[in-house]
């Protein structure tokens, strides 16, 4: 995962709708197949149109960059959280777990580098389950030495909730789109 700007190159399929959306009232021969996906770098929910005759499975990585795409015809755009299908919604948390597991270093770095937002509020406090006391413990421990992993973080900060779980909860809040500050979902 990259916290930098730029466009998505890869997405992970959440759901494949070969006959388009159920709410689309057009005749079936006019409906467009849809892939609901999440971008791997910026964690943006996306709506994609696959190439004809392509079948895409949930959890499948699909190339959506500027080069030659093998399975995706085009990107419709961002997908609002409330338009996720029940399958996509069910798969989302598992896919986020995989993304965090495969790029733990980037997410640990958030705990090492998170800064105050104002004189009264620190960005760490916006993670679900972390209050001022835990935030200060994290700040004090990272001043001694940066955290090397989630296990290191849990070992050094007393009663620390599972960092993966609180990051997933924060990402889901950011995906809904009502947050003032965005740390993980870009775009």
What the chain holds in terms of domains, given with CATH numbers, is 10-85 (2.40.50.140), 103-176 (1.10.150.280)
Beta strands in 18-124 (DSSP E): 34-39, 45-50, 61-63, 72-78
Question: What is the reported pLDDT for 25?
Answer: 76
CA distances from 71 to 1, 11, 60, 64, 103 (A): 22, 11, 11, 9, 25
Percent of the residues in the chain that have a pLDDT greater than 90, as a whole number? 83
Structure tokens at 14: 């959440």
Question: Which ranges of the chain does DSSP label H, i.e. alpha helix?
Answer: 86-102, 104-113, 132-144, 150-156, 163-176
Alpha carbon 41 to its chain's center: 8
State the chain's mean pLDDT as an integer.
92
**pLDDT tens profile 21-51:** 877 777 777 789 999 999 999 999 999 999 9
- Are residues 11 and 50 in contact, defined by beta-carbon separation less than 8 angstroms? no
Question: What is the reported pLDDT for 187?
Answer: 65
Among 18-27, 81-90, 120-129, 130-139, name the one with the lowest average pLDDT.
Answer: 18-27
Percent of the residues in the chain that have a pLDDT greater than 70, as a whole number? 96
Q: What is the pTM of this model?
A: 0.89
- Signed CA dihedral, 86, 91, 96, 97: sign only: positive
Question: What is the reported pLDDT for 2?
Answer: 42
Structure tokens at 13: 């399929």
**pLDDT tens profile 125-134:** 999 999 899 9
């Amino acid at each position: 995962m990259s916290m930098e700007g730029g466009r998505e190159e890869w997405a992970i399929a959440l759901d494949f709708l070969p006959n388009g959306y159920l709410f689309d009232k057009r005749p079936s021969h006019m409906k467009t197949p849809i892939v609901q996906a999440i971008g791997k770098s910026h964690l943006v929910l996306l709506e994609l149109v696959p190439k004809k005759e392509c079948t895409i499975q949930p959890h499948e990585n699909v190339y959506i960059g500027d080069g030659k795409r093998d399975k995706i015809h085009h990107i419709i755009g961002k997908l609002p959280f409330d338009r996720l299908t029940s399958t996509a919604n069910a798969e989302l948390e598992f896919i986020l777990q995989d993304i965090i597991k495969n790029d733990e270093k980037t997410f640990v770095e958030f705990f090492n580098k998170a800064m105050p937002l104002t004189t009264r509020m620190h960005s760490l406090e916006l993670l679900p389950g972390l209050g001022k006391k835990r935030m200060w413990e994290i700040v004090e421990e990272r001043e001694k030495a940066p955290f090397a992993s989630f296990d290191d973080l849990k070992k050094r900060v007393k009663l620390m909730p599972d960092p993966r779980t609180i990051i997933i909860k924060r990402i889901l809040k950011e995906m809904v789109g009502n947050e003032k500050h965005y740390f993980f979902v870009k775009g």
